[in-house]
Amino acid sequence: MIIENPVTPSERVKGLKQAIDRKGYARILEAHNGLSGIIAESVQVEKNGETLEYDGIWESSLTDSASKGMPDASIVGNDSRIHTIDEILKVTSKPMVVDGDTGGEPAQFEYLVRHLERLGVSAVIIEDKIYPKRNSLDAKANQDLEDPYSFAEKIQAGKEVAISDDFLVISRLESLISGAGVADALNRAEQYIMAGTDGIMIHSNKTDPREILEFAQAYKGLCSRLGRRPILVSVPTTYNTLSDADLVANGFNLIIHANHMLRAAYKAMTEVAATILTGGSSLDADSVCAPVSNVFATVGFDRITQKDRERAETRRLLNGKTNEPAIVSGSRN
């Protein structure tokens, strides 16, 4: 928990760039509340003599909305989103990247950037679709793209109000989602790079990664021509036959595993609820539930009870000293 690993907002903002500068890439995991944030921050795996962990946290519009029982259709407002973001930031220390949907109007985006940066968020990603957006993973939804020049103005507005160069404004390209193709995505990328974007996220809802890899290859030439290379971002939810190492080898600097924590929680909760109904008690569900003691330890309750015991012992010792007879020096009149 953050109480044990304190970090200031300004230190946290720098964290994403530092991770990318250090390794060439960063890998982050979705969180939709404080508990999932603690897990995303703290989980570690030993593999081939190396300790693997995530470099940061993704605060997703989809999973934030779904955790509130709402569809991902620009229904949950910024105030509610900020509440969730702050909830996660309070109990974690690693950098956070926020899904900013379309960003709204330029003036709205300016306020969002200022607010997120003040909280300690490292980056915001906004997508070039028309408000109100529809989730990109729904193949049946209309995916209408915003005019690239208007979107570029929004990027410029966000960059102008950011206080630190460490806070990143990243442009999410929806050309492949809408069916406009790789050429349209490259044209939009050029406009957004010229507008000052800090990163380009190319998105796809196909299982075949060929368009993603085609874009990544062409991106090298585009950036070389423009003389500037913003970081390249991937969200391999559908094309996860590509490993993280494959994506890094193809030039991606930020890899976002974007909704797996909520999807796992949904599946587990549904199965446990049905198991209790079927068995007539919660006995059969115990085997797939974490012990309460594990939850206590994860959220820091053990720390509180330990402090309670230490304070009680201190009070006992002080009270014992108070009850000892006072020693008076000097003569009495």
pLDDT, mean of residues 156-172 = 98
Residues involved in catalysis:
72
% of the chain surpassing 70 pLDDT: 91
202 pLDDT higher than 90:
yes
- Which pTM was predicted? 0.90
What is the DSSP-derived secondary structure letter of residue 125? E
Give the residue among 119, 226, 231, 223 at the shortest CA–CA distance from 168: 231
Map 233-266 to HEC letters.
EECCCCCCCCCHHHHHHCCCCEEEECCHHHHHHH
325 pLDDT higher than 70:
no
Contact 63, 10 (CB under 8 A): no
114 pLDDT higher than 90:
yes
Distance separating alpha carbons of residues 70 and 63, to the nearest angstrom: 9
pLDDT of residue 133: 63
Please report which confidence band the pLDDT of residue 331 belongs to, taking 50, 70 and 90 as the band edges: very low
Name the more confident of 229 and 319. 229
Instruction: Supply φ then ψ for residue 48, to 5 degrees.
Output: 55, 40
Please report which confidence band the pLDDT of residue 333 belongs to, taking 50, 70 and 90 as the band edges: very low
87-126: string of b/e by CB count within 10 Å (b at 16+)?
A: bbbebbbbbbbbbbbbbbebebbbebbebbbebbbbbbbb
Contact 75, 66 (CB under 8 A): no
Give the residue among 210, 141, 205, 142 at the shortest CA–CA distance from 173: 205
Least confident residue range of 17-26, 108-117, 126-135: 126-135
In tens, the pLDDT along 210-246 reads 999 999 999 999 999 999 999 999 999 999 999 999 9
301 pLDDT higher than 90:
no
Distance separating alpha carbons of residues 31 and 94, to the nearest angstrom: 12
Least confident residue range of 71-85, 94-108, 245-259, 307-321: 307-321
What is the DSSP-derived secondary structure letter of residue 146? P
pLDDT of residue 90: 95
Output the six-digit token pair for 313: 């012992």
Distance separating alpha carbons of residues 121 and 14, to the nearest angstrom: 9
